[in-house]
Amino acid sequence: MWCKLTVRMFVCLCLFLVLPLGHFDGTPALAQDASFSRWVEQLWPDARKKGVSKKTFQRAFRGVTPDPEVIKKAEHQPEFAKPVWDYLASAVSKKRIENGREMLRKHGPLLASIEARYEVDRHILLAIWGMESSYGQFRGKSNVIRSLATLAYQGSRRKFGRTQLLAALQILERGDIPPAKMTGSWAGAMGHTQFIPTTYNAHAVDFTGNGRRNIWESHADALASTANYLKVSKWRPGETWGYEVELARGFDYALTGRKIVKTLAQWGELGVRRAKGKSFPRPGDRASIVLPAGSRGPAFAVINNFRSILRYNNAISYGLAVGHLADRIRSPSSGGFSKKWPVEYLPLARTERYELQRLLNARGLLRGDADGILGSQTRAAVRAYQKANGMAVDGYPSVVVLKHLKRGS
């Protein structure tokens, strides 16, 4: 996914761990550090244009070296995708629900104040807090400037790293947090609810009124900042994220996916019903039908607020986890989903995704080189194959579809 290190680069990065860095302001640099030191010098004009003082810039980069661990993690591409049911089991665990309920009791007045100001459901805020840092227990200990400088200095994410690094320097210039306390994940996500620097600059708020937007140490500032972010992401107060639904026999799976939007009433005319015999409180809400594990797994009608949640992480599994965790914090007795997950329909590993595309290409159902990205064209090709072979036409590229293709070839 990201850059590949040569042996020479790896050796150099290992040296960075034990050799001091020469600074951009003229301090003699060791040969192994010269390239990074020059890069830091070249960054200064852009930082100055962003309003960063030389004093802040020097302070931020004092002793900073590229971090080999960041490179390793940036390069890492898991061979196997985690099934959505495993992801949800971990994300919405009994312990996380219990801790969320405890946070609801402990911070009830604060959450009520935040909800009153920003009109974002307190249970959603708790769910995001739980997902992002386990309610503040794991906020990340990496030096954000070092992590982002590493990403910006080398690799395929240089543009992202540079943009976020300059934004992080602006945070230091404003004085919200000193460099030593600006910690986060290896990729630069920060604080209780893991804002990246550009999101922080645009949406973080000082809810405590002490003059600093301290999402690292103040859960009040972090939760209010998250509420503000969701509000500007078009969160609609008083509405939920979506519903588990049941699809009528013969439902056209080509209608699934986030790009197709209809009112819940219109979906009802096509045989979509809310699960567990319940009704939709607002039939006029516009929704999309998503099948995270294909036609044999649970189906969901996701509405506007689901899209707001995806501004945090644009993955269906993440949105479902946040929504479901919020529901369970609100009502622990609500239980899980009514339909079981099809555990035999595993998602494809990276090498298997390439193989699937090559086999679809060979059958004339897909054009272009295999890239391992299961986008709309690949899913359309899977649907075409399923239709031609009497399978459920849901476009879900599982190991079952791949095995069927391999037998046919």
- pLDDT tens digits for range 35-80: 999 999 999 999 999 999 999 999 999 999 999 999 888 877 566 6
Please state the rounded mean pLDDT for residues 293-322.
96
Q: What is the pLDDT of residue 72?
A: 87
| CATH number where 18 lies | 1.10.8
Looking at the fold, whether 173 and 257 belong to one and the same domain comes out as no
Q: What is the pLDDT of residues 327-350, one digit of tens each?
A: 999 999 888 999 999 999 998 998
- Backbone dihedral region of 162: left (phi > 0), alpha (psi from -120 to 50 degrees) or beta? alpha
Looking at the fold, whether 320 and 369 belong to one and the same domain comes out as no
Q: Of 7 and 396, which is predicted with more confidence? A: 396
Q: What is the pLDDT of residues 76-113, one digit of tens each?
A: 756 667 899 999 999 999 999 999 999 999 999 999 99
Asked whether residue 212 is domain-assigned, the answer is no
pLDDT at 3 over 80: no
Instruction: Say how far apart CA 31 and CA 99 lie, in whole Å.
Output: 51
Q: Measured on CA atoms in the order 401, 81, 199, 24, is the torsion positive or negative?
A: negative
Looking at the fold, whether 254 and 322 belong to one and the same domain comes out as yes
Looking at the fold, whether 312 and 355 belong to one and the same domain comes out as no
Among the ranges given (155-159, 165-169, 199-203), the one the predictor scored with the smallest mean pLDDT:
155-159
213, 206 contact by CB (below 8 A): yes
Q: What is the pLDDT of residues 254-280, one digit of tens each?
A: 899 999 999 999 999 999 999 999 999
Q: What is the pLDDT of residue 79?
A: 67
287, 256 contact by CB (below 8 A): no
CA neighbor of 345 nearest in space, from 121, 81, 141: 81
Looking at the fold, whether 258 and 387 belong to one and the same domain comes out as no
CA neighbor of 324 nearest in space, from 89, 81, 105, 133: 89
Domain of 380 in residue numbering reads as 350-408
pLDDT at 27 over 50: no
For the chain, give the longest Cα–Cα distance: 74
Residue 184, strand partner residues: 142, 190
| CATH number where 305 lies | 1.10.530.10
DSSP-derived pairing of the beta strands 299-302 and 242-247: antiparallel
Looking at the fold, whether 373 and 277 belong to one and the same domain comes out as no
Q: What is the pLDDT of residues 197-225, one digit of tens each?
A: 999 999 999 999 999 999 999 999 999 99
Looking at the fold, whether 313 and 250 belong to one and the same domain comes out as yes
Q: What is the mean pLDDT of the chain?
A: 90
SS3 257: coil
Last residue of a domain, one of 309, 334, 359: 334
Asked whether residue 321 is domain-assigned, the answer is yes
pLDDT at 1 over 90: no
391: Cα separation from own chain's centroid:
32
257: Cα separation from own chain's centroid:
19
pLDDT at 21 over 80: no
Looking at the fold, whether 169 and 318 belong to one and the same domain comes out as no
Q: What is the pLDDT of residue 177?
A: 97
Question: What's the number of domains the chain is made of?
Answer: 3
Asked whether residue 215 is domain-assigned, the answer is no
pLDDT at 131 over 80: yes
Helices 108-118 and 94-106 cross at an angle (nearest 10°) of 80
Asked whether residue 172 is domain-assigned, the answer is yes
Looking at the fold, whether 385 and 325 belong to one and the same domain comes out as no
Looking at the fold, whether 53 and 177 belong to one and the same domain comes out as yes
Looking at the fold, whether 358 and 325 belong to one and the same domain comes out as no
Q: What is the pLDDT of residue 333?
A: 87
Instruction: Say how far apart CA 274 and CA 264 lie, in whole Å.
Output: 10
